Amino acid sequence: MAPLSLPLNLKWTPLNLKATATATNKVTEMPLPEKIRNSRILVLGGTGRVGGSTAIALSNFCPDLQILVAGRNREKGEALAAKLGGNSEFARVDIDDVNSLETALKSVDLVVHAAGPFQRAERCSVLEAAINTRTAYVDVCDDTSYAWRAKSLMNRALDANVPAITTAGIYPGVSNVMAAELVRVANESKDKPERLRFYYYTAGTGGAGPTILATSFLLLGEEVVAYNKGEKIRMKPYSAMLNIDFGKGIGKRDVYLLNLPEVRSAHEILRVPTVSARFGTAPFFWNWGMEAMTALLPLEFLRDRNRVQSLVQLFDPFVRALDGIAGERVSMRVDLECASGRHTVGIFSHKRLSVSVGISTAAFALAILEGGTQPGVWFPEEPQGIPIEAREVLLGRASQGTFNFVMNRSPWTVETNPKEFGLGIYL
């Protein structure tokens, strides 16, 4: 089956794709160029929820790929490698050990860095090792400081002829590409993009495990950076709540300000003067709990990785139990408002975050293998990272299994139960 072809322009027919992903992360096998079908890919954090999901998605996209599931837990890693088939194997890799890391990288074509959390990390050690060994690189970073530290290695990556993409998961990642397409269409219609907003929702932790929980707590220790008419503004995390409609299957959800890397990258790269990002979860009391933590816990506590890890261990059993009830639906809504008053949105919704994040990350990995990414360190919205002509294929792959995926639509056409008052007027 050929990759989905989605015309990314003003005539884009809205897509409402039925979920095809299952508990085994099954996606449609994709025809790849012969020269990359046998590529060797190292997935760091492969024994975790995000890395494991990525390894499974890669194997399903192309069974010929040779996947090294890397981590510290041999039992879990070998079990997953056996599940993937004869082309996969476990590799014990310690990302804090430079020799271990570089030895592993020398034998692969691409490394996928999914060994988070990225918050409070002092160095981009995996990217540095990838540059030293001339290995293509992609990560699922969701931290602003880490992402721009990676970006600072641009010249070294250029000199080594290494293509690298940072923040390339689901959000940030696919959401950046969605934003880039909304902006591109507006620019082509000679309309000026003025306001870009990212809204995210997951049920519980999205089934993504302790790492996501640690990430969430660490983000509460970061001041939110947003942009208003070109001016950088700083706000308290988990503040300025909005009730946003994510469309069918999700409905209206409360979302709160959070410090996410796509805000700065979209502002600087897509040149949108007003940008912000908000996130919300369910059940509703988790949002209240997150607000309470920002009010009651000292910033020093929320910025300490060791203390946060202790907090995760305390909450994790309770969170796992609630996740079983809440499910793990995920939805992203990206809104763009232009100078003319034109307002367009993109929506991406999936029943299982733990599946969808792997499919999304695998889509970026395949894009790099296919050779479109230029040497250097890029964000997903930069055409040197994902070329404009490659975006439709990437979004087609990443959206497999979604139950609602639409782009370049007016808000009223995607929101829950819009009311028509006659003459084509909806509220």
Over the stretch 116-169, which tens digit does the pLDDT of each residue have?
889 888 899 999 999 999 999 999 999 999 999 999 999 999 999 999 999 999
DSSP 8-state secondary structure symbol assigned to residue 392: H
Average pLDDT over residues 173-197: 97
230-274 tens-digit pLDDT: 999 999 988 889 999 999 999 999 999 999 999 999 999 999 999
Q: Using CA atoms, how far apart are residues 322 and 18, in angstroms rounded to an integer?
A: 26
DSSP string for residues in 201-235: EEETTTT--HHHHHHHHHHTTS-EEEEETTEEEEE
CB-CB contact of 30 with 366 (8 Å) = yes
Residues with Cβ < 8 Å from 53, sequence gap 6 or more? 25, 354, 355, 357, 358, 359, 361
Quick check: 18 pLDDT over 50? no
As a whole-number percent, the residues of the chain with pLDDT over 70 amount to: 89
**What pLDDT is attached to residue 211?**
67
Alpha helices in 236-373 (DSSP H): 261-269, 284-296, 299-302, 305-326, 353-369
Quick check: 78 pLDDT over 50? yes
Residues with Cβ < 8 Å from 268, sequence gap 6 or more? none
CB-CB contact of 33 with 3 (8 Å) = no
**What pLDDT is attached to residue 12?**
36
Quick check: 73 pLDDT over 70? yes
Burial of 85 (0-12, 13-18, 19+ CB in 10 A): exposed
- DSSP lists the bridge partners of residue 349 as 331, 404
Other beta carbons within 10 Å of 360: 31
C-alpha separations of 114 from 7, 64, 83, 158, 281 in Å: 31, 22, 19, 23, 22
Q: Using CA atoms, how far apart are residues 67 and 369, in angstroms rounded to an integer?
A: 13
Q: Using CA atoms, how far apart are residues 56 and 21, in angstroms rounded to an integer?
A: 11
Q: Among 352, 356, 349, which Cα is nearest to 247's?
A: 349
**What pLDDT is attached to residue 219?**
78
Pick from 92-101, 201-210, 289-298: least confident: 201-210
Query: 418 falls in which pLDDT band (50, 70, 90)?
Result: low
**What pLDDT is attached to residue 299?**
77
Decide which of 232 and 289 is more confident. 232
